[in-house]
Structure 1
Amino acid sequence: MSVVLLVVEQDENPMKFIPTIRKNTNFGLSEIKKRIGNGIPILEIDLFKDEEDDAKLKHLINELINIHANIRLFDGEVVENKEVSVEYLMNRFHRYEEIQRQNQELDDLMYGED
């Protein structure tokens, strides 16, 4: 499993991102401002460990993209060579879901449907 870190880049008006971030995290206003201003991740998720966390990450990414936030995703740590694209992450989600579906089909064939 890998840890995905979501960073929102500083913008001319970071206030427009705060309601979306606040709705999806437990951070207060000052903490969100600090994290955006300092390039600190606003969300850290262990990928594929918890379906709710995965859904939360996908939802937040989509909401931030819809309000034109510049986001950066990192695999494990916030360093340049660990950055991954949104497309790459979404492909990983899709592939994981496909594997889960295939595993379920195999289980159904081997053990019968319950």
Structure 2
Amino acid sequence: MTKMNMRIEKDVNSLRYISILRKKIDKSISELKELINNNDFVLSYNLLNIDELLEMKEILNSLIAVGAKVHIYEDNREVSIEFLDNLIEAQLDTERYLEEVDEQMFNDD
């Protein structure tokens, strides 16, 4: 299963980033601090789950708003925020299309 992963560059504001992360994910402060200090992935979400990707985007925006330098990866390949935005938009477009098809099928009966 392909994952979208996130790293946060260590800096003097790491505690601020940890407080944002703790609101959304179930990891201890010490776990998050260690992940940031070791330059490991702090988040990992299923690439095909739109709800997880939307949550990742929300966390990403919150971190960037407080000055975090964030890197996102498709598995181990670094990608841009625009890549994540396009991926989310494509999945939302697909959901909308499938809903339209379903409606047409039920209305044709």
* Fold-level similarity (TM above 0.5): yes
What's 2:23 paired with?
A: 23
What's 1:53 paired with?
A: 52
Write out aligned runs for 1:95-110 (5 A). Answer: 95-110=90-105
What's 2:37 paired with?
A: 37
Aligned equivalents of 1:55, 1:13: Cα separation in 2: 24
SS state at 2:10 partner: coil
What's 1:70 paired with?
A: 69
Q: CA deviation at 1:76?
A: 1.1
Is 2:11 the counterpart of 1:11? yes
Following TM superposition, the consecutive aligned residue runs of length 4 or more in structure 1 with deviations greater than 4 angstroms are none
Q: CA deviation at 1:7?
A: 0.7
Instruction: Give the superposed CA RMSD.
Output: 1.6
SS state at 1:17 partner: helix
User: Amino acid of the residue matched to residue 92 of structure 2?
Assistant: E
Match 2:106 to one of 80, 89, 111:
111
SS state at 1:68 partner: coil
What's 1:92 paired with?
A: 87
Aligned equivalents of 1:90, 1:64: Cα separation in 2: 16
Q: CA deviation at 1:53?
A: 2.0
TM-score w.r.t. the length of structure 2 is 0.89
- Percent identity (aligned): 27
Q: CA deviation at 1:2?
A: 2.5
For structure 1, the 5+ residue unaligned runs are none
Aligned equivalents of 2:69, 2:79: Cα separation in 1: 14
Q: CA deviation at 1:30?
A: 1.0
